[in-house]
Amino acid sequence: MNDRPHDHDAPGGGCPVAHGAGVTRLYGPESATDPHGIYARLRKRHGSVAPILLEGDIPAWLVLGYRENRRVLDNPLQFSRDSRIWRDWKEGRVADTSPLIQMLGWRPDCVSQDGEPHRRLRAAVTDNLQGVTGRGIRRHVTHFANKQIDAFAEAGRADLVTDFADHLPMLVLTRVVGLAESEGRSLAESSHQVMKGGADALTHNEKIMAVLGELAARKRAEPGSDFASGLIEHHAGLDEDELVNHLRLVLITGHTMTSNLLARALHLVLTDPALRSGLVSGQLNLSSVVEEVMWDTPPLAVLPGRFATSDLDLGGCPIKEGDLMVLGLAAGNADPEVRPDTEVSVAGNQSHLAFSAGPHECPGQNLGQAIIETAVDVLLHRLPGLRLAVPPEELTSTASTWESRLDSLPVEFAA
């Protein structure tokens, strides 16, 4: 991300920009190192809503304020999820092959719709997620967590990002949706590439869709007790495109968000000895750890996207009909108006934006939380003497437009 001047006008006419300063890119090599610093500079320069450029120098508004984020998320009549009204896409400035389309393009799924179409499709997802979450999900997590740990337990060393968090949620989700375990690792990699964006995003999305198309055909012929079969049998009556796209939605968002949260929760546990001792002794519970991570490092730092249904004002900025807004969930969680001191405990405060809000609030949060809490519990009890293998200050993260992920989490333990 950089603050160098560009010749582009701010989107939709633009917020007043002091001294004619240029618009910040929210992508590229410089975006990877300090996203929170970028958010802070944008907030200082523009306030609660800032003009930015996305990949391909496509204009958008980044919503930084907590209240402004809630206004957008809670009001689908003003801020639609339907990208078919996105002016830059309609007018041909965003190619269908753009990596942005994997995150922002319209699909026949519940997150691309509002109103009754959204309610119909979301019901199919939520009803079936409730079913699979209650059917031994913690048993599945325990099985795959132990299997992951078995692969490195004798070495006395591991990287809990690449050896554990990067794959475990997808292994669980493949079992949940009805796929073979052997599909898990390649689907995890493809999901990460779709979220990362760039030239390979379209190719990896096509791989995912091919696997899920085969799954849908198989489950129509031979239904089981899995999520895919539940979608097929649901009274919402999903057609083929809706079915495959909802399987895609659950796999990509479920895995990428949960794997990121799992790595961040492990990071917090390993860098806070008192917290770790409390968890092992049972004096603290894992839900409080996850809650803190939700506030400080939400799995999606920036949520795509909403589209203005008419001209309006947001945070003092003149938004035009068809403008794209992306939601700064990490920035909103750190908004000084609602959280003036980020060092103060947020224990018991569940008003974070990590799972979005409003009609499109994440329907899979209970499933994700069950995976994280079970995985951390298994790990702490399987690996005595678990500790970081490097000083905490050597741990690094890499950010894309949408998320910031730990690069590695090297640990040592008694083999």
C-alpha–C-alpha distance, residues 6 and 9, integer Å: 8
Q: What is the reported pLDDT for 409?
A: 99
155: tokens are: 């070495």
C-alpha–C-alpha distance, residues 197 and 191, integer Å: 10
C-alpha–C-alpha distance, residues 355 and 303, integer Å: 10
Strands of the sheet with 24-25, listed across from one edge: 24-25, 49-54, 58-63, 324-328, 302-308, 79-80
CA atoms within 13 A on the CB side of 100: 23
Q: Residue 304: which of 252, 263, 236 has the closest Cα?
A: 252
Q: What is the reported pLDDT for 199?
A: 79
C-alpha–C-alpha distance, residues 408 and 405, integer Å: 9
List pLDDT tens digits, range 230-275. 999 999 999 999 999 999 999 999 999 999 999 999 999 999 888 8
Strands 324-328 and 397-399, how do they pair? unpaired
Coil, helix or strand for 98? Answer: coil
38: tokens are: 């970028």
C-alpha–C-alpha distance, residues 85 and 216, integer Å: 30
> Phi and psi at residue 334, in whole multiples of 5°?
-100, 10
> Phi and psi at residue 399, in whole multiples of 5°?
-105, 145
Q: What is the reported pLDDT for 382?
A: 95
The CATH code that applies to domain 11-412 is: 1.10.630.10
Q: What is the reported pLDDT for 7?
A: 37
Which residues of the chain fall below pLDDT 70? 1-21, 135
Residue carrying the six token digits 């741990």: 395
Please give the model's pTM, rounded to 2 decimal places.
Answer: 0.92
The letter for the amino acid at 370 is: A
CA atoms within 13 A on the CB side of 142: 6
- Using CB atoms within 10 Å of the CB of residue 19, give its burial: 0 to 12 exposed, 13 to 18 middle, 19+ buried: exposed
Strands 58-63 and 157-159, how do they pair? unpaired
